[in-house]
Each structure stands twice: as structure tokens, then as C-alpha cells.
Amino acid sequence: MKLELPLISELAYLILLLIAFNNFSFPQQSSLSKSVNYLSQFIASVDFKNLKQNNNDLALTDTIYLRALQFSNQDYNEALLALTFATVPYKEVPLQFPLFNFILKYPLISAEDSVFQLKNKNLPKYFFFDSPQNDYGDKDKLAHFFGSAFTSYNSHIFDLGNLIGYFVEVFEEDFKVQSSIDERDLMVDNLGYIFGKILLNDKNILPSRIILSHLLFHVRIIL
């Protein structure tokens, strides 16, 4: 499932996305911040840590999603957007301007440092069958998934396609801008896009059902 990249720079995509996010969320900035803080505190909590002992990361992904819906009173727009920010394991976007050799760090909506660090520690990271078996795993992939779901769910308002993927794509653990697009990240973007589209007509769909389709697609290719 390979996606073709539009002929536009990653930096241009990133700036366009930030503008779109600001314009869309500004009227509800307070509500969105509360949702992000609530989800971050939930993921950082002892209760969530206990859930991790008895559930796999795929089930935990559904749990976080359902919590977001509950807190937002079934407002799917706010829930998906809050999930995007709450699951990003970084606090800033590094915007690089090559002509001026200048990097601007754009702050994201996030919880206070102590909660943020615990949240990152507890984020689901092995929810794909081929998730890297290391301490980081796929922690950044939830932001890809829910961000793409948000854009596709709102495609009747503005059609950004898989633009959110490029937003998360610039992140690396050491805040360096990547020089190339990760095809696996684009795969997750596409799964999120599918989830958002299905969600328009089926409010009972869960992230796990779409994420599992990656395994089924892989098995089909092998067979």
C-alpha cells in the first residue's frame, strides 16, 4: 500500500498544517487543552499502568480512544484532535529554514513536564505485529494514526488528505528534521485515514480493527 508524495516540500506541508490547526482549534483552544491534559494524565496514571499489566497495547489504544470520546462528550472532532496532541511524544515542532540556517521550535499543546514524561513512558508502543522490539517501539505512530483520522473525518470541511503524516514526520527523538519520508509512517497515516473515513458512517468502529488490517494485508502478501 504505497502512497505517492505530492510535489511540495515537507516544510511547506508542515507550515500549512500548523496554520490549519490554529484556524480550526482556536475557538475551542481551552477545551482542546483540557482534553489533551486529561488524556495525558490518564495515560500517565497508575490506573493506566495497571491496565498495561493485563492488556496488550492494541487494546490499550482502544481504551485511550474511548476515554477521549467520553471526555469530549462524543465530539469526534475534538477527541481525534486531542488524541493527536496527547500521543505526540514531543513538545515542539522543529521548523527548519535552510536559506537562513535557522530552526524555529514551535510549541505544541501538551501537559506539564512531569505528566508529559510519565505519559510518554506509558504510551502504547507494540500495537503492530512488526513494531520494533525496543524501548521506543512505535510510540510516535499513534499521533500519525489519530492525526490522519482527524483530517479524513473532517474532509467535508477541508481536504488535507494525509497531511498530518508530514507534521509528525519531522519529529525524531533528538529533534532533528528528517531528510526523507518513512514509508512505514505513511502506512500508518493511510490506516488512520481509512479509520476516519469509516468513522463518518460507523461510530462503533475501533482503532484496533483498522490497525489489525495491517497484519491481514501482510499475511495476504505472503500467501
Judge whether residue 184 has pLDDT over 80: no
Residue type (1 letter), 38:
Y
How far is 106 from 14, CA to CA, in rounded Å? 11
Tell me how far apart the alpha carbons of residues 118 and 61 are, in angstroms, rounded to a whole number. Answer: 17
pLDDT at 165 over 60: no
Q: What tens digit of pLDDT does each residue of 131-164 get?
A: 888 888 888 889 889 988 888 888 765 555 445 4
**Cα–Cα nearest to 81, from 105, 109, 44, 119:** 109
Looking at residue 180, the DSSP 8-state letter turns out to be S
Answer with the residue of higher pLDDT: 15 or 28. 28
Q: Region 195-219: what's the mean pLDDT?
A: 85
To 10 degrees, what angle do helices 57-71 and 76-87 make? 130
Structure confidence by residue, pLDDT tens digits, 46-100? 999 999 888 899 999 999 999 999 999 999 989 998 998 899 888 877 666 666 6
| Backbone φ and ψ of 94, nearest 5° | -85, 105
- The residue that leads in pLDDT, 103 or 135, is 135
Determine the average pLDDT of the residues in 12-23.
46
- Mean of the pLDDT values across residues 195-208? 95
Residue 181 pLDDT grade (very low, low, confident, very high; cuts 50, 70, 90):
low
Mean pLDDT of the chain: 76
* Structure confidence at residue 95 (pLDDT): 64
pLDDT exceeds 50 at position 14: no
**In the chain, what are the helix, strand and coil shares in percent, each to the nearest 5?**
60, 5, 35
Is pTM beyond 0.75? Reply is: yes
Which residue type, as a one-letter code, is found at position 76?
A: Y
